[in-house]
Amino acid sequence: MKISERLIQATKTYLARNNYIDLWRQMQWEVNVVKSNQVNAFCMPGGKIIVYTGMANLVGLGKGADDELAAVIGHEIGHAIARHANERIS
Residue 58 CA, distance from chain mean position: 17
Q: Is 1 helix (H, G, I), strand (E, B) or coil?
A: coil
The reply to whether 76 belongs to the active site is yes
Q: Starting at the edge strand that comes first in sequence, how are the strands of the sheet with 30-34 ordered?
A: 30-34, 48-52, 41-44
Which one of the listed residues 5, 30, 68, 76 is annotated catalytic? 76
Provide the annotated active-site residues.
76
